[in-house]
Structure 1
Amino acid sequence: MGLLSSGLEGRFAAFITKELNDAKAGKQTMEKAYENIEGLYDQWKEICSIDENDEDLTKLQRDPAKTWKSFSYPSWTDLIHITMPVYIAYGTADHGAAGNALMPVYFELTGKKNYKMKPYINRGHNFEKIINETPDFNDMKWQEVMDDFIQRIEAL
């Protein structure tokens, strides 16, 4: 199984993590981060109050409530129980993929040994180069990621 650029902690957790990381990096105060996080909590309450079958995309930034909710469940809790080999690749500059770095800890805790982690340093969600927080979509690594994944499948 291949998992590429996944937000294993869930979509909404990534927004909260980004606020905290921005404060730690001095881009904002911790007080401002928590003010923003309180706003995120309010947004989450609004998302959870919308009927999942309501497809009005103007309410929630282009995605229906069902999408926001389903992408906000942490998937690592299921991933640790998968018995097949797992290949996980992610860009280290992708705030949403920060939880990927913890997967070896969870895998070892649960006895899973058949996995491979491949962090792409200073790469974003689409494996694009990130320079001073600016994505360079002319420098993408998708082909390298897919080639590595295919080699691992063929080696099984």
Structure 2
Amino acid sequence: MNIKRGLFRLWLVLSIMFAGAVGIVTVPGIIADFRSASLQKSMSNDTLMVPIICDQARGTLKTDYSPEGSQTDVNPFDTCWYELPKFRTLYPEYKDLTDDDLSDRLYEKLNLPINHNPAPQPWLTLARAIAFAVGGPLSVLVIGGAFVWAFSGFSRSKAS
């Protein structure tokens, strides 16, 4: 039996098993990342809403801003919500802030939680999983091949 052929076959079987195990472990997370990215993309067309205390609200109720929930009478200490473009036209003093900075400042002013989760990157996650599933066995093949090559130099020379 040829030792090199036997080791290569063993490497091939173990590599397929390793790639399958990596796939079983990573596929659910990758699918979740793709779904999350799809949801975020569909929601990205929605207009950003910013909060302000209703006592400080400018403009017309239900036209320019909306109170919390579906209230008809507004308590001055409730939270009112503006679409960002309408807020910008009614509050020109915030013109020097970016949309993200303005949103952060208004949310912090009312002690509302700000969600700054990074956007999911499903293609990067998939590429990393593939690199791990293929790179690990390839590095074992290279190192194993180097050892086989090195140890083959210790074998007896064939008689001519």
Scaled by the length of structure 2, the TM-score of the pair is 0.23
- In proportion to residue count, which structure has more helix? 2
- In proportion to residue count, which structure has more strand? 1
